[in-house]
Structure formats: C-alpha cells, structure tokens
Structure 1
Amino acid sequence: MASTISRRRAICIMAAAAGLPLLGLGSRVEAAAPPVIWKGGALGAPATLILNLEDRSEAERLIDRVVAEVARLERVFSLYRIDSVLSELNRTGELAAPPADLINVLEASQTVWQATKGAFDPTIQPLWTLYARHFSAAGADPMGPSEDEKRRALARVGLDKLKFNRDRVVFTRPEMALTLNGIAQGYITDRIVDLLKDASVANSLVSMGETRAIGAQHDGRPWRVGLATSEDADTPDSILSLVNNAVATSSPDGFHFGDSGRFGHILDPHSGGAPRLHRRVSVVAPTATMADAFSTAFSLMDMPAIRVVCDRRADLEVDLISPSGAHARFGRIG
C-alpha cells in the first residue's frame, strides 16, 4: 500500500516591529505584542498564520484577507477538491475562460520546463496515478510498475502536449492530467506577499511550505531560514539569510510509494522513474513560484546540469545535500 501523504503547511508572517527566530529550531518568538494567530487549512493540509502588528484590528483584517485569498486559490489549484478548476480540467480535458491565476502558473511552468529541458513538467500526473494505483493494489510488485506501464503513462506526459492561452486550456491527448503541486505552493505564497505589500507591510516572512521574505527584519537583519532534509528534523543542516527573496526545498523523502522507500514522489518525466540524485535541494529565487518549480526540477538533475541552468540565470542560488551527505552551494550563495 502507498503511505499516507503528510504535507504540513505554515504561513508565518511577522511584521512591523516583530522579529522571527531561526525557523525549525523551536525557538520562542519575541514580539512587542501577542501575535494574532490563525490555524486552518491550505491545499488540503494544516496551515498557520501568525501576524504581529501594533494595531491588532488591522492585523485581524489582514488575516481575514489572507484566509480568503488562500481559499480562493485552493479552488483553482487543489487536486483534492472535485470542484476546483484543476479538477475540472483533468476531468474534461479542456477549459474555457480559465482564471488568470491558472494561466500565470502555466506560463511560469513553461519557463522552467524550457530552462530545465523538461525536468519540470506539471503534466506528470498520469505517471503519479500509475504509481499510486500500483502500490495500492494487493500484492503489488515492490519493484514498481512495469516498463510497458510506464511507457504508456509517459505517452500522456509532456508540457508540449498542453495548449493554453488566456482564453482556453486544452489537453491534446486523451487521459492527460495536470498536477501543480510542484509550483502552486510557491505561487500562493507570492500572492499573499502581494496582498501584504499592498497593505504596506514592509518587513515580513511568509511560509507555505515555500518561504518568501518581504524586506529584512525590523532591525535590518536578514531573515534566517533553517534548511533540513525532513520536516521533522530538530536542527537544520544549513542556514540561509533572506532579504526580498524566496526559498523552496524539495526532497525525495517527502513521500514514498510502497514500504521500501525506493520510490519517492518526485517522478522523472523522461524515464518514468524516481531517481534519488540528492537528499535535499533548496533554491533561492526572487519569487517563491520560481524557487518552488526549480527545486522540483533540480531534484531530477545532476549537479553539472544544475550548474548550467544557474550559469544562465543569475537570479538562482542552490543549496543541496547529496545522497552521501555532502553539502554543496553555488550561485550567489557560494
């Protein structure tokens, strides 16, 4: 049987005079006033929002707006809501008058797909479905789906088989399907950042699985973000400093098909396999959308190929851990 997917999300927003300690260390936040805290759901997982402002009523109004925005975007991107725009597209194979948010994400996906020679591909969903069905069956072969099964699934994979513009989205082959799980978290984070900036929030950190900083901390210091190979790690293996940048992390250990741990959730749209090239890949970029998508793609690329992409894009930084535990940094971080 496939393991249950556990995906925890948190929105941590510390604005005005508040400072945020190193993420992931269990430290206590020192704030000028008790924070306003909201807990709920985002993209099918628990979410938390913490906002510190001197004006508590203003903080509560901002929280209400953020909660409404998360709910709106969930109705676009969720794979797990039958009434979402994405679910409708996957059912029918076409969509007229698509929402602007969906087209924005598809355009960003196309940019990363081209930059990574197809390593990032949101049409991978038929392959995911194949693995999920295989390992959910009684007596499933622990070696995974057969090569013939993977080949048939891969015939329905490829962003070049998806046609879209501001008026329409169409699958050009039967039984195609999209998953935006490798980019939508970042996009939602960016939309919340836009909302806060419009409300004149100048110093904040927003995290929904992917993290983006608005400015620096109130005292001018950069935001410090701890990176780890698992969500349950007690201490980080690396620390980043963020100012007006975003960071996203991908790891094949986030979810496994079957009990052996051999098949992670990041599937190769070229081979149909689940390679384990890195234990963790973290990407810093100007937006969480780009950081999210590139961290997914780089999980499927070796270090020389990643370096080629970074050499062509001066706005990317990479921090990764190899299968042996070796730590590498390059781009502006290095």
Structure 2
Amino acid sequence: MFKYILLLFPLLISFLLKEKDQQEFTIRGYAQGTDYTVKYFARDSVVTKRSVDSILSVIDSSMSLYKPYSLINKFNESSEGFDLDSHFAEVMRKSFVVYKDTKGMFDVTVAPLVQAWGFGPKPIAKFPDSTEVKQLLNCIGMHNLSLKGNYLKKSKACIKIDLNGIAQGYSVDVVADYLKKKGIRSFVVEIGGELRIKGPKPDGSAMRIGIEGPAASANAEPVIRHVVNINNGAITTAGNYRKYLQKGKKKIAHLIDPKTGYPLDNALISVTVYAKDAVTADGYDSPLMAMSVHEALDFVASKKGMEAYIIYHKRDGSVADTLTKGFKKMIVGL
C-alpha cells in the first residue's frame, strides 16, 4: 500500500500543477436576440468564439422565430406538420414533459397570443380585445400536437409554436456539453441571463453567481439581491419587471397565460430556478410565475433536484421574497 501511494504521488503533483497552470478565458458575443458570455478555465484557448457562434447559429436556424428561414417558421406555416431536426425534436420532447407536469401552464402553442400582445417578431398597432383573445384560444393547446420520431404533427392548421420559454436554456446546455467534450472541467455558460455552471475553479473555490431582482424604485436598475455558490447545475430566471409593454398606467407582462389568453397579472415578480440542467430550469421558471407563492413553493418541493427563489408583491404592495431550503443553503451573501 505504501509503495502504491508513493507511485501515485508524482501523478498527483503533476495533476495539481496542470490545474494551477490553467487560465481563465472569456468569450462574449450576441446570439438569439441577446448577449452571451462563456467563461472557462484551461491551459489553452481550446474553445473559440467562432465555435460557439457556429453552435448557436445552427440552433437559431432551427428554432428562432426571428429567422424567416428557420424550421420553426416552416412548421408554423405548414398545415399538418413538419420533420424536425435533432435540436428542435429534443426541445419538443422536453416541452411535452413540462406541459404535462404543469397541467398546461407551460404551452409552446402560445405563439398567436404572444404575437397578438406585442411580444412576437412583428409589431402590433393595438392590443387584442376579448373577442380576438377568445378566437385565438381556439388555436392554443399542446393537446393539438403529437411527436412521432422527429415528425411533429398538428391537428389544426392554425397551431403555431413559440419556443422562447425553453430553447434558450437548451442552447446553454448544448454549449456547456461542447465545453465538456473539449475536456473543460470549470466553466460558466450564460445566454440572456440563463446559466449553466461547472466547477470548482482550478484553485478549488466555488463558482459565485449573482441573483438579480427588481430595484426598490421603478426607474432604478435591477440589483443583485444574493450571491450563490454553485459547482454544478443551472440557474434561470423568469420575471415581468424587465420585459413588458405599457397600456396607459398598466404594465403588460410578456408572460402569457395559455388558459386565459391574457398576460399574467398576479403577485409574482420573478422566479429563479436551480436545476441539474438549463433546459429544465428554463422550462419550469415561466409556468411557476403563473402560480401563487405557496403553489410555486409546493410544486418545486415535489421536484427532485429543483430549488427556487421567488420575489413577489405582498397584499400591501410591498416587495418580499422567499426561497426553498435548498436554495437558501447555496446563498453566501453579497
């Protein structure tokens, strides 16, 4: 045994030196209508901006509503269905799971409603009235979709899908998996605020991530409310304090309730979800926004490996927050 330990000792020293020699590399760019940042530790720049841009371009060509030539737009224009690529099919498989878990509160067929309320790729002249919303609801519901192999079928020609509530998390995971295939063991991948983390850093310290929330006053910038230590997993946030439209004095939230056809208007301000991967966290953060605080906490408690931090309005209008026990354990302060 002693001889065996002595033989391993030089290998351990060599490994630690390699870890110590690692540098931090940062890649920044623009994709999917937002900024992205990839930070990783390695001895050499084994991942380049060009490679990351190439990955995200392929995903955009598949699922971006803002690319006229994308597969998702071709599907939306089809009358019966379409053969999907592997990225699109994988996101749809996950979408069906989340749809079932949330009893329809997550629904990718909300595209007509998202567009009608001014959050789609085309500008609008006015908000829809109750008659128009009622008509649009006839074309909403994932029960009108079925996936067999890679063929996505629609039962109504008017069914159109919007994957903005889950595709960005999937994109984060794809880039993270690419880094892991390159042998990188410490990284943070962030696209539009959705993150996937792998640690610790080469010096043994944990990755530190800031959790943003709305500012105290309406015109101030959002603030970092907490800092968490994470060495493995993903964090995403859904909220209505950044992306909204104004209707008189009323703010119209970009998150649409697929059951009523109207933008969400409840106590929740934002939900930050921790999960094992970004597609899971991203898929569940928006439907959690449609729940009450207690419903959201109970739902997260029922999901293994999921944690949440919730910011909400109290009945008197003041802002408060709450979190699961697991999320609390990750917090280290500012």
Whether the TM-score (by the shorter chain) exceeds 0.5 is yes
Matched, 1:53 2:42: yes
Partner of 1:189: 172
Residue 104 of structure 1 is aligned with which of 90, 99, 113?
90
Tell me which residue corresponds to 2:209.
225
CA drift of 1:52 comes to 4.8
Q: Which 5+ residue runs of structure 2 have no aligned equivalent?
A: 1-17, 329-334
Residue pairs, 1:44-193, within 5 angstroms: 44-56=33-45, 58-60=46-48, 63-132=49-118, 136-137=124-125, 140=126, 144-193=127-176
What is the CA-CA distance between 1:54 and the residue it aligns to? 2.5
Contact 2:78 2:157 in 1 (8 A): no
Give me the TM-score of the superposition, normalised by structure 2.
0.81
Between Structure 1 and Structure 2, whose CA radius of gyration is higher?
A: 2
One-letter amino acid matched to 2:319: G
The 8 Å contact of residues 314 and 331 in structure 1, kept in 2 or not, is answered as no
Which residue matches 1:206?
A: 189
**Partner SS state of residue 241, structure 1:** strand
Q: CA deviation at 1:49?
A: 4.0
Of the two structures, which has the highest relative contact order with CA contacts closer than 8 Å and spacing of 6 or more?
A: 1
Correspondence for 2:240: 252
Which deviations, in whole Å up to 9, do the C-alpha atoms of 1:124-160 show, x marking residues without a partner? Answer: 11111221299832xx4xxx53222211111111111
Task: Answer whether contact 1:203 1:214 (CA < 8 A) is retained.
Answer: yes
More strand, by proportion: 2
Q: In the TM superposition, what is the alpha-carbon distance from 1:38 to its structure 2 partner?
A: 4.3
With structure 1 as the length reference, what TM-score do the two structures score? 0.81
Partner of 1:329: 323
Give the CA RMSD over aligned residues. Answer: 2.5
Distance change in 2, residues 1:283/1:44 (3 Å): same
Contact 2:41 2:186 in 1 (8 A): no
Aligned to 1:23: none
Counterpart residue type for residue 275 of structure 2: A
Instruction: Give the C-alpha shift of residue 173 in structure 1.
Output: 1.5
How far off is 1:222 after superposition?
2.2
1:43, CA displacement in angstroms?
1.1
Is the contact made by 2:89 and 2:150 (CA closer than 8 Å) also made in structure 1? no
1:214-249 CA distance string (max 9 Å, x none): 132222322121122359846401222212110000
Task: Give the residue type in structure 1 aligned to 2:74.
Answer: E
In the comparison of the two structures, how many residue pairs are matched? Answer: 298
Q: Give the Å deviation of 1:96.
A: 3.6
Tell me the residue number matched to 1:28: none
